[in-house]
């Protein structure tokens, strides 16, 4: 079998499928009688042409965006572009005296999240941490519906605000993706989120992270047995939400997918992530450099030190290489250059030296220099008469 290279797709016509199916690698299977238009549409979806142009448009002209609401929602969910991210898993146990939870987050994180992060290592670095918090109440009192306690979606949105204060801001300036596992207090078991007569244990906030409810079994509440949660049922929402937050394309609405049953990405999904990242970083570079050059045009006093100048040149060169690599279909190289372009343009724009002499208008120069030099000049000016006399005297003799 021939290995399909990075970034390309292999279309396979086969009688063993009755519908277009996206495979685990870079293969698309379709039955012989498939309408060509349908196939084209599916491929467009798969290559995310809409999402790519939408993220470019919305970055270049804020407020403009694609007509497809799902594309826009997916973009607004994604965390802001950065080359490093923190992932913080917080387990909240509000009643540690009544309920002992015996769970080690490291093991499931290593099993389910780490392989995914390894796949994404060319895109960004992720550093994962976990913490336990105790004695934090749900501010909302959940009402009882039949036999369960429910938090309506409208109430659920007020949970994050008080939680956020306790999660800690961290010391790092990288964007943080939060996952909160909230162990339900014994008096509210079982607790669910509720919307349109559907119950679920997980919710997500765009660009921020996810919250899930962990209902202990009643036995652990009454007796002194510790509650051992199931790794898979905690990690399932976390991985699902992590996919949405970093922008993994969700194609299940448009075509059938071959089941993967793993937290990792299919190869064509990873290719899409590469494309998205390249576009994001390249567009960001373009905006930053344009804005910087406009700034330099407006304020002539600005001093560009060699370091900044070098960064700008480097950024422009890398950005040109991004385009060249994309034309040749070299995704990995394009991604690498787009990262360089993004980081150096960011460095140049936010360099502290740019501000040093930024605002020193002419009227302020008078205001500063005249009081400084005038008193010094007075004796000099007054001595001019003496100098003149001295010269006259000297040359007369």
Partner 1 sequence: MKSYFLLSFLVCANFLNINVCQANHSNNWAVLVDTSRFWFNYRHVANVLSIYRSVKRLGIPDSQIILMVADDMACNPRNPSPATVFNNADQQLNVYGDDVEVDFRGYEVTVENFVRLLTGRLPPDTPRSKQLLTDEGSNILIYLTGHGGDGFLKFQDSEEVTSQELADALEQMWQKRRYHEIFFMIDTCQASSMYEKFYSPNILAMASSLVGEDSLSHHVDPAIGVYIIDRYTFYALKFLENVKLKSRISMKSFLGVCPKQDCISTVGVRIDLFHRDLAKVPITDFFGSVRPVELTFDFLDISNTPL
Q: Which is nearer to partner 1, 33 or 69 (CB)?
A: 69
Three-class SS of the chain: CCCCCCCCCEEEECCCCCCCEECCCCEEEECCCCCHHHHHHHHHHHHCHHHHHHHHHHHHCCCCCCCCHHHHHHHHHCCCCCCEEEEEEEEEECCCCCCCECCCCHHHHHHHHHHHHHHCCCCCEEEEEEEEEECCCCCCCCCEECCEEEEEHHHHHHHHHHHHHHHCCCCCCCCEEEEEEEECCHHHCCEEEEECCEEECEEEECCCEEEEEECCCHHHHHCCCCECCCHHHHHHHHHHHHHHHHCCCCCCCCCEECCCCCCCCCHHHHHHHHHHHHHHHHHHHHHHHHHHHHHHHHCCCCCCCHHHHHHHHHHHHHHHHHHHHHHHCCHHHHHHHHHHHHHHHHHHHCCHHHHCCCCCCHHHHHHHHHHHHHHHHHHHHHHHHHHHHHHHHHHHC
Minimum separation from the CB atom of position 77 to partner 1 (A)? 8
Show contacts with partner 1 in window 238-297 (CB under 8 A): 239-241, 243, 252, 259-264, 287-288, 290-291, 294-295
- Measured from the CB atom, the residue of 310 and 388 that comes closer to partner 1 is 310
Q: Is 51 in the site for partner 1 (CB under 8 A)?
A: no
Q: Could you say which of 37, 104, 121, 165 contacts partner 1 (CB under 8 A)?
A: 165
The smaller minimum CB distance to partner 1, of residues 93 and 288, is found at 288
Question: Site for partner 1 (CB under 8 A): which residue of 236, 256, 286, 317?
Answer: 236
Q: Which of residues 216-235 bind partner 1 (CB under 8 A)?
A: 232, 235
| Window contacting partner 1 (CB under 8 A); options: 38-46, 96-104, 179-187, 237-245 | 237-245
Verify binding: residue 158, partner 1, rule CB under 8 A: yes
* Contact mark string toward partner 1, 310..349, x via CB under 8 A: ---------------------------------------x
| Residue choice 180, 203, 255, 278 for contact with partner 1 (CB under 8 A) | 203
Indicate the residue among 64 and 187 with the shorter CB distance to partner 1.
Answer: 64
The least CB distance from residue 13 to partner 1, in Å, is: 28
Q: Which residue ranges make up the site for partner 1 (CB under 8 A)?
A: 59, 62-65, 76, 80, 111-112, 115, 153, 156-158, 160-162, 164-165, 168-173, 175, 193, 195, 198, 200, 202-208, 210, 232, 235-237, 239-241, 243, 252, 259-264, 287-288, 290-291, 294-295, 349-352, 354-355, 358-359
């Amino acid at each position: 079998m021939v290995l399909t290279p990075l970034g390309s797709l292999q279309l396979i016509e086969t009688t063993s499928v009755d519908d277009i199916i996206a495979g685990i690698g870079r293969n698309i299977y379709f039955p012989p009688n498939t309408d060509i238009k349908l196939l084209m549409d599916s491929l467009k979806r798969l290559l995310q042409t809409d999402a790519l142009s939408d993220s470019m448009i919305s970055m270049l002209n804020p407020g403009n965006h694609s007509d497809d609401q799902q594309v826009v929602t997916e973009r607004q969910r994604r965390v802001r572009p950065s080359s490093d991210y923190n992932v913080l898993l917080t387990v909240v146990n509000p009643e540690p005296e009544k309920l002992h939870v015996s769970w080690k987050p490291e093991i499931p994180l290593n099993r389910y999240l780490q392989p995914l992060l390894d796949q994404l290592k060319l895109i960004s670095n992720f550093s994962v941490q976990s913490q336990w918090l105790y004695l934090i109440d749900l501010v909302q009192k959940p009402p009882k519906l039949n036999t369960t306690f429910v938090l309506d979606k409208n109430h659920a949105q007020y949970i994050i605000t008080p939680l956020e204060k306790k999660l800690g801001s961290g010391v790092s300036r990288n964007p943080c993706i939060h996952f909160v596992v909230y162990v339900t207090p014994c008096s509210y078991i079982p607790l669910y989120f509720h919307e349109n007569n559907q119950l679920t244990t997980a919710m997500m906030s765009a660009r921020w992270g996810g919250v899930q409810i962990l209902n202990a079994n009643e036995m652990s509440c009454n007796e002194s047995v510790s509650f051992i949660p199931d790794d898979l049922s905690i990690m399932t929402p976390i991985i699902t939400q992590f996919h949405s937050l970093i922008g993994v394309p969700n194609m299940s609405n448009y075509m059938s997918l071959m089941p993967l049953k793993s937290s990792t990405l299919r190869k064509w999904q990873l290719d899409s992530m590469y494309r998205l990242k390249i576009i994001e970083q390249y567009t960001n570079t373009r905006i930053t450099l344009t804005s910087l050059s406009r700034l330099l045009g407006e304020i002539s006093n600005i001093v560009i030190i060699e370091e900044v100048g070098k960064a700008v040149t480097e950024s422009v060169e890398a950005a040109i290489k991004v385009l060249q690599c994309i034309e040749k279909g070299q995704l990995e190289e394009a991604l690498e250059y787009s990262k360089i372009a993004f980081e150096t343009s960011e460095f140049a724009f936010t360099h502290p030296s740019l501000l040093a002499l930024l605002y020193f208008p002419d009227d302020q120069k008078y205001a500063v220099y005249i009081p400084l030099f005038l008193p010094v000049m007075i004796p000099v000016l007054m001595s001019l008469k003496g100098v003149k006399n001295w010269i006259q005297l000297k040359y007369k003799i």
